[in-house]
Amino acid sequence: MQFKEAAKAISDHNVPTVFGVPGSGATLALIDALECLGVDFITTTHEASAALMAATAGKIGGSTGVSLSIKGPGLVNTIPGIAVAALESLPLVHIAEAYGPEVPPSKAHKRMPHHELVSPIAKGCLPLFDSSGCLMQKALSHAKAERPGAVLLETITLEQLAEDEFGKNVAAAESPKNKGLPAVLEQRLSAADHPMIIAGSLAERAGLREVLSDLSVPVLTTAAAKGLIDEHLPHSAGVYTGAGGELSPEHRLLQIADFVLCLGVTPDEVLNTERIAHLPSAGFSDSNVSGVEGFSFDFDLPFQLSLEALQHIVRKDWGCDLIAETRSALNQKLLSGFLPGEVYSQVQSVLGNAVRAVFDTGYFCTVGEHLWHTERADLCLMSGRARYMGTALPMALGASITDRTVPTVVFVGDGGIGMYLADFRISLERGLPLLVVMMSDGGYGSVRTRAITDGLTEKPLLFGRSWVEIVRAMGIESDAAESAKQFNNALVDWNPELGPRFIEARFNPDAYQEMVQSIR
């Protein structure tokens, strides 16, 4: 009866699919109850992959993702997925089997300190049931609440829940330092001839898309908020990282801007918080999230996130010509030869804008941040904060399972393809419109830069393995492309309606090294 109540809470929360690796106990009973309510369950080959799929499904579907595992080692395997949910603000409830407090310590099989394992990265750790009943609904809501993240539920019952257990490790939101728009900020905004905006993930979740789309001043977003506004708009200047080279839009715009408004940007969304230190700036946030200690923006004027400030720059108009010039220079740099830029260009040319792109991390992602223009935030997914290698494939699977209305294209490198490749089979079993493009320079390209610069060994960074035959053995059509023509032929041959495909794009490793110079 208890698991029926938990299953109903999941169903009522509009969770269509649960992911995981079940055991023979409580998780299997819960899956049985879910099936009776029409909630699908997908068995993955790895628990972390399940959590990543679920968290992404929650983001895409506007609900909270749900995954499950057995106790001990099963939960340990899940930790990478829980960490990504924490780092990328993805809503996730993970259900783990566990020993209740009534079980004596002598019962040690797979026993591990669950709370200690996940407390640094979870929003809360609590039992599935307490004396008041099932806590599933409470956990689902808490995981989705700002700032979204992961909640661990253990399949145990406690007579009384400790008051500080729910929401454990959630940092209390600081009160905004200023709730209004004081005269000094009004004066600076009115006096600024070249204001620019940097918008982050809090602004995306706050629904600022429409008002930002109607402005005529440069708007950059962090990678975590990519697609907050349509990147085809003339005042959309692309991604701000805090570490852009001389060809990047952020570098050129910051040379001219005389005021910077940061809307909902948390420090962990950029690579360097000091980049705007020389300019007058104001930072707006719902919670004034400070991020890592000692890692903050040090704004001149910090305020609560508000549309009031934007009203003062609606009449401003500058930067579109400069953005167009910068885009042209980037295209000239990044579209020379068969490299990731050419791959992105072909994919968007053949598939159009109605495609969901999912990026893993690496130099190809750096190029994608600039060259891949997306219409909406839900059509571009990546580990924008952590640059967490290996997340792309399970994120793409979770997105494609949740929303099959658009094809999903995964861009992943030599380092990120192998972690969860076994779960690629799910796309074949379900006939998903999923294309995996492996961007291969034969090794760890971005790490190789350090080896070249410092004269260190490159041996562990170059391995040159091909995954084509391995993927083909899974029953998925696979191709290798060493030229733009070969890639185009393979791409045009893919019919999303017939299921998944794999294309390995092989680049010259030295040209791959040179492509990001002056950009990052």
How many whole angstroms separate alpha carbon 380 and alpha carbon 369? 10
Pull the structure tokens for residue 232: 């085809």
* Sheet containing strand 150-157, strands side by side: 40-43, 17-20, 65-69, 92-96, 150-157, 124-130, 133-134
With b for 16 or more beta-carbon neighbours within 10 A and e for fewer, the 161-197 pattern comes to: eeeeebbbeeeeeeebebeebeeebeebbeebebbbb
Q: For domain 2-157, give the CATH number.
A: 3.40.50.970
CATH class label, 335-514: alpha beta
Contact between 426 and 492 (Cβ < 8 Å): no
Q: What pLDDT was estimated at residue 107?
A: 77
Q: What pLDDT was estimated at residue 449?
A: 87
Which three-class secondary structure state does DSSP give residue 126? Answer: strand
What burial class does residue 133 get, using C-beta atoms within 10 Å of its C-beta: 0-12 exposed, 13-18 middle, 19+ buried?
A: exposed
Q: What pLDDT was estimated at residue 180?
A: 52
How many whole angstroms separate alpha carbon 397 and alpha carbon 435? 10
Instruction: Give me the helix-helix angle, 392-402 and 47-61, nearest 10°.
Output: 50
* Unique residue bearing structure tokens 């379900």: 430
Q: What pLDDT was estimated at residue 313?
A: 65
Q: Could you read off the pLDDT of 239-287 as tens digits, one per residue?
A: 999 989 999 999 999 999 998 888 888 888 888 888 887 787 777 755 4
How many whole angstroms separate alpha carbon 433 and alpha carbon 41? 19
Phi, psi for residue 351 in degrees, rounded to 5: -95, -15
In the chain, count H helices and then E strands.
19, 19
Q: What pLDDT was estimated at residue 100?
A: 77
Q: What pLDDT was estimated at residue 301?
A: 64
Contact between 43 and 14 (Cβ < 8 Å): no
Q: What pLDDT was estimated at residue 187?
A: 78
- Low-confidence residues of the chain: pLDDT under 50: 160-179, 287-295
Q: What pLDDT was estimated at residue 65?
A: 98
Q: Same topology for domains 183-322 and 335-514, yes or no?
A: yes
In the chain, how long is the greatest CA-to-CA distance?
72
Residue among 312, 102, 323, 3 nearest 187 (CA)? 312
SS3 letters across 358-411: EECCCHHHHHHHHHCCCCCHHHEEECCCCCCCCCHHHHHHHHHHHCCCCCEEEE
* Sheet containing strand 195-199, strands side by side: 236-239, 219-221, 195-199, 259-263, 281-285, 301-304
Pull the structure tokens for residue 51: 């959590």
DSSP 215-231: --S-EEE-GGGTTSS-T
State the CB neighbour count (10 A cutoff) for residue 102: 9
Regarding pTM above 0.95, the answer is no
Q: What pLDDT was estimated at residue 190?
A: 80
Q: What pLDDT was estimated at residue 287?
A: 45
What burial class does residue 5 get, using C-beta atoms within 10 Å of its C-beta: 0-12 exposed, 13-18 middle, 19+ buried?
A: middle
- Residue spans per domain, the chain: 2-157, 183-322, 335-514
What kind of architecture, by CATH, is found in domain 183-322? 3-Layer(aba) Sandwich (3.40)
